[in-house]
């Protein structure tokens, strides 16, 4: 009898490559601003300095990543809808939130997305109708 083991599937880690020079410059500026008070203070022991520098590095990285983070936004989603989506994400991350409150915000997000998408489709249809009315067939089928 032959026994065949399952293949080990590795999880894919997204590697965004080397950060851009602008990102590195902003990181360096923010880091230097946070570290300036440590250079002059010699009274702190080495362990305390290490933990503060480590915290500064992690906080700076988190700040820069949040600044550069840009989710794939659909062109038809309005700012009001994005605010509701972010509110729903924040509510989901908090563990003490109520399920009913999350459900109401989720329903509101779905309603806003539906409204925005319908407006987007209506604007496309209006453009097509305008091109058909003015006999611009080249623009009609683009």
- Percent of the chain beyond pLDDT 70? 80
- pLDDT tens digits for range 34-63: 888 777 667 778 888 888 888 888 888 888
User: What is the arithmetic mean of pLDDT over 98-113?
Assistant: 92
**pLDDT band, residue 107 (cuts 50/70/90):** very high
This prediction has a pTM of 0.50
Average pLDDT, the chain: 81
Which residues, including other chains, have CB under 8 Å from residue 128's CB and lie 6 or more apart? Answer: 140
The Cα 114–Cα 116 span in angstroms is 6
Q: Is the pLDDT of residue 11 over 60?
A: no
Helix or strand run (H / E) with residue 118 = helix 99-133
The Cα 36–Cα 7 span in angstroms is 51
Q: Which pLDDT belongs to residue 15? A: 46
- pLDDT tens digits for range 84-104: 998 998 888 877 768 888 899
Which residues, including other chains, have CB under 8 Å from residue 64's CB and lie 6 or more apart? Answer: 23, 26, 27, 30
- pLDDT tens digits for range 123-141: 999 998 998 898 888 777 7
DSSP code at position 75: T
């Amino acid at each position: 009898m032959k026994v065949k083991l399952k293949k080990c599937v590795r999880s894919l880690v997204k590697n965004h490559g080397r950060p851009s020079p602008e990102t590195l410059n902003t990181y360096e500026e923010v880091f230097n601003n946070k570290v300036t008070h440590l250079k002059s203070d010699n009274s702190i022991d080495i362990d305390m300095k290490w933990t503060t520098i480590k915290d500064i590095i992690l906080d700076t990285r988190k700040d820069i990543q949040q600044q550069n983070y840009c989710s794939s936004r659909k062109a038809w989603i309005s700012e009001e809808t994005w605010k509701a989506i972010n509110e729903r994400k924040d509510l989901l991350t908090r563990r003490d939130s109520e399920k009913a409150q999350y459900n109401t915000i989720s329903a509101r997000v779905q309603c806003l997305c539906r409204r925005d998408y319908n407006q987007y489709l209506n604007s496309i249809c209006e453009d097509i109708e305008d091109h058909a009315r003015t006999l611009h067939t080249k623009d009609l089928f683009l």
